[in-house]
Amino acid sequence: MIFDIDRESKKLKEFVSKYDSETFAPDIATLFAYINTPRIEMYPFQGLDSPLKQLSYILALNLTSNVDKVTEIEVRSNEEWKEIVVLAIKCKAGYYDLLLNDLKSIDKFDKYYETVLPVFFDYFDTAKLNYEEQELKRIDLLFTPFNKVLEQSINLNVQEILMIYNLVDHQLFININKPFKYREDPECKEFSDYQKQHNILPQDWEYSGDNENIKSFIKYFQNRGERLKISLEDLYPHFDNEKINIFFKLFTIDRNETSFLYYTNDNPVLSNPIIKLKDSRYLLLDPKLLLFAIYDRLYKVIDSQEKKIADKFNSHKGNYLEDRVCSIFQRYFKKDAHIYKEYTTSIGGSGQDVLVLGKSIAIIIEVKNKKSAIPHSYPKDIKKLYETISKYFKNSIQEGYDQCYRVKELFDKKKIFDIYNEKGEKLYTVNPKRYPNVFSIVVTEERFKKPQIDLSKLLDLNPNDDCYPLSISVDDLEIVLLTLKKKKLGLSNLIEFLFLREQLHGRIDSNDELEIWGALINSKKFEIPADPKLSFKTYPEMSFFYDELYKTGLGFENEKNFDKKKSGNWDFYEPYKFLK
């Protein structure tokens, strides 16, 4: 192999171990801010194709190395950063070598290759891609019924955790606005304006006076990651101090030598995205990382309980997902559709999840809360990995499609049928002729990566069916429907997009469902190439507009600062603008 995973990983860990984490961690945290969309291509970091995960990996290597190895306060030049980036790229490239080496020795090269590689790298490269409101709601609704279990295990319940998270989030908001506060002092404003007029960069600012506002203003811009640093004393007046201490202990990582080495190992930085500094303050690497760490920690607590509790949680999770899907469609259709949950098409027949009946449209929905496949962190048997991915897919998306088809078949036959509730009571008589547009949707809690985006790879269609369903995660579904409402695209547009999406299976090259919908929504006339050999490829830029819509209020339930966004007088902290 050209790139040896063990050799390159050890070399990178040894290289970054020499830097003081007090400066190295804030540098990484600052870089995190620049990789949000639109991503800034900064030398030498443009070589990182998965910057959030790769930078987290680099920092984790530093924090899990022996503190006695520190010989440098900071990374002193771009050339040193370049060396770190090159080593990180080599570490990841080693997995390509490992996978391709095995693929060459087995049959059906293309079949395994096109499935395993995208799933493997999407799993380890991609962070969660949802909005803060979605994750907050998920945590609240999923885990609140298990508060007693959580209190016994970690001495915190869901409401306390979210309260502290919101306090942290608010403190970061205060931090962001500190420069404006300092500039209310006329002398500080004069100092600031002078630096700007003379194009003096913050690292070159000098001041010998005794104005505390100017000193704080300079410190804010010269100290690495200052806006992400939090003092617990600022939080204590607002909540139980002991609870705050427990929370920070739960999600804080200290520099401590461990065996962590590989890019695909469980990353301690992602589990504990808070670092305690020598001045007793805490550095929050990224607010979203903290939210995702909260979800993962609570999930692990529940998952570690006795089978009875775990089973109860899984049942609750399924009900939560069905309720959420119903709520999403109810908000989209309002009074223009009837939504039926937990129904059958015959008394005592097989249960179905959700049916949406609107004007000229029927949407058959099955929801799946099963987990997607977790690739082995050091893959050695590609055929086995393919079979694992296929098994998880069949147990979730294939099963959901088969359940959808039971109902779709009734619509296809154009014969009137009844639907019933679980008690056998008739809910409605369905006349298929009233619904010329019939779609099947399999909604999943997790993203199943590329096999979910292009169902032609693993899904077996019923011999009597010629249409692939839409399979989409619940977060992506919510974003798509809110976007259609925001852009005032009505039912005819949704029907058109769903038909186009059906036809894209087998002809799509994409790793992100939202990119596909971005192309559909923003193209004046989206056309599928007539040549069946031609595929449609998406790019990250196709999904940037969602964040722009979010800045003026996308419409999530309990969306933060929604009224202020709608007023037009609200702005977001966007580091890339400052960088420019």
Q: What is the pLDDT of residue 118?
A: 83
What's CA 170's distance to the chain center, in Å?
A: 21
Nearest-CA neighbor of 156 among 249, 272, 32, 38? 249
DSSP string, 431-459: -GGG-SEEEEEEEESS---HHHHSGGGT-
334, 460: one domain: yes
- Relative orientation angle of helices 241-251 and 158-176, to the nearest 10 degrees: 80
287, 358: one domain: no
Let me know if residue 381 belongs to a domain.
yes
- Relative orientation angle of helices 21-34 and 51-63, to the nearest 10 degrees: 170
Let me know if residue 69 belongs to a domain.
yes
274, 415: one domain: no
407, 482: one domain: yes
Let me know if residue 580 belongs to a domain.
no
14, 145: one domain: no
Among the three residues 102, 125, 148, which one is the final residue of a domain in this structure? 125
Q: Quick one: tokens of 291?
A: 């939210």
CA 361 – CA 337 distance, rounded (Å): 9
Let me know if residue 260 belongs to a domain.
yes
Among the three residues 79, 107, 125, which one is the final residue of a domain in this structure? 125
Q: What is the pLDDT of residue 377?
A: 78
Q: Quick one: tokens of 190?
A: 């004069």
Among the three residues 71, 91, 125, which one is the final residue of a domain in this structure? 125
Q: Angle at Cα 373 formed by Cα 372 and Cα 378, nearest 5°? A: 145
Let me know if residue 174 belongs to a domain.
yes
Let me know if residue 30 belongs to a domain.
yes
109, 159: one domain: no
205, 316: one domain: no
Q: Is 0.75 surpassed by the pTM of this model?
A: yes
CA 367 – CA 260 distance, rounded (Å): 37
pLDDT tens-digit profile, the chain (580 residues)? 578 899 999 999 999 999 999 999 999 998 888 776 445 577 888 888 889 999 999 999 999 999 999 999 999 999 999 999 999 999 998 888 777 775 555 555 567 777 888 888 888 877 777 899 999 999 999 999 999 999 999 999 999 999 999 999 999 989 988 988 999 999 999 999 999 999 998 889 999 999 999 999 999 988 888 999 999 999 999 999 999 999 999 999 999 999 999 999 999 999 999 999 999 999 999 999 999 999 999 999 999 999 999 999 999 999 999 999 999 999 999 999 999 999 999 999 999 999 999 999 999 999 999 888 888 777 777 788 888 999 999 999 999 999 999 999 999 999 999 999 999 999 999 999 999 999 999 999 999 989 999 999 999 999 999 999 999 999 999 999 999 999 999 999 999 999 999 999 999 999 899 999 999 999 988 888 888 888 899 998 999 899 999 989 999 998 988 887 777 666 555 554 444 4
Q: What is the pLDDT of residue 70?
A: 96
367, 347: one domain: yes
CA 552 – CA 571 distance, rounded (Å): 9
What's CA 142's distance to the chain center, in Å?
A: 17
Q: What is the pLDDT of residue 580?
A: 42
* Residue 426 half-sphere exposure toward CB, CA atoms < 13 A: 5
66, 152: one domain: no
CA 443 – CA 448 distance, rounded (Å): 11
426, 526: one domain: yes
101, 153: one domain: no
CA 273 – CA 251 distance, rounded (Å): 6
CA 472 – CA 513 distance, rounded (Å): 7
User: Looking at the 3D structure of the chain, how many domains does it have?
Assistant: 3
Let me know if residue 468 belongs to a domain.
yes
Q: Which domain holds residue 32?
A: 5-125
**Are the C-beta atoms of residues 326 and 339 closer than 8 Å to each other?**
yes
561 Ramachandran zone, left/alpha/beta (phi>0; psi -120 to 50): left
Nearest-CA neighbor of 397 among 444, 466, 465, 454? 444
Please name the residues in contact with 186: beta carbons below 8 A apart, sequence gap of 6 or more. Answer: none
294, 324: one domain: no
**Are the C-beta atoms of residues 410 and 345 closer than 8 Å to each other?**
yes
CA 139 – CA 158 distance, rounded (Å): 8
Let me know if residue 577 belongs to a domain.
no
